[in-house]
Amino acid sequence: MALVKPEQDTGVEHGDVLLAFAEAVIGTDRKALDDVRAELAGALGDVAVSGVAAVAANFSKNDRVANGIGIPMDPVVFKGTEDLRAEMGLNAYKSAENTFRHM
């Protein structure tokens, strides 16, 4: 749930810093990004910064490929995630239509 409600505890070490970095690196507040990058380096070490940036970059790519090409969620993921999707509010995303229009 912390992925859509970042004020909640992730249960992962330094999860709060990672969530803040993910939000800042694709956001508009450059100072916030610079601050959280320094915090991230302090918490996980300099070597982790490139990895976190790479993952954020990769999913910035994948989200655009998915929404741009209009692909549906793979059935193996769709099945069994009804409750989780509803709880997280994912069904309200505009891109959910790429899955639901096939049902």
Partner 1 sequence: MSLYHDTAFPVREDLEAAHDDQFDRFAGAGTWGTAAQRLAVIAEARKAGIDAGLLEAPDDGGAESPTGDLPKMVREVIHTLAATPKDFDMSTYETAREAGLSDPEFAELVAIVSFAVDLDVYARGIGVPLRPFREPRKGSPTREVPDEAVPQEAFVPTIPNVPDCGEFGTELYGGHFKPYIMRALSLVPDEYRAHVALEQAQYNPLPKVPVVEYCHHEGLTRPQVEIVAGRVSALNDCFY
**Residue 32 touches partner 1, criterion: CB under 8 A:** no
Decide: helix, strand or coil at residue 10: coil
Q: What is the DSSP letter of 28?
A: S
**Size of residue set near partner 1 by CB under 8 A:** 65
C-alpha dihedral sign at 51, 68, 24, 94: negative
Looking at 8, 51, 82, 86, which residue binds partner 1 (CB under 8 A)?
A: 51
**Residue 66 touches partner 1, criterion: CB under 8 A:** yes
Q: Are 51 and 18 in contact (CB under 8 A)?
A: no
Residues that bind partner 1 (CB under 8 A): 2-4, 6, 10, 12-15, 18-19, 21-23, 25-28, 30, 33-34, 37, 41, 44-74, 88, 90-91, 93-99, 102
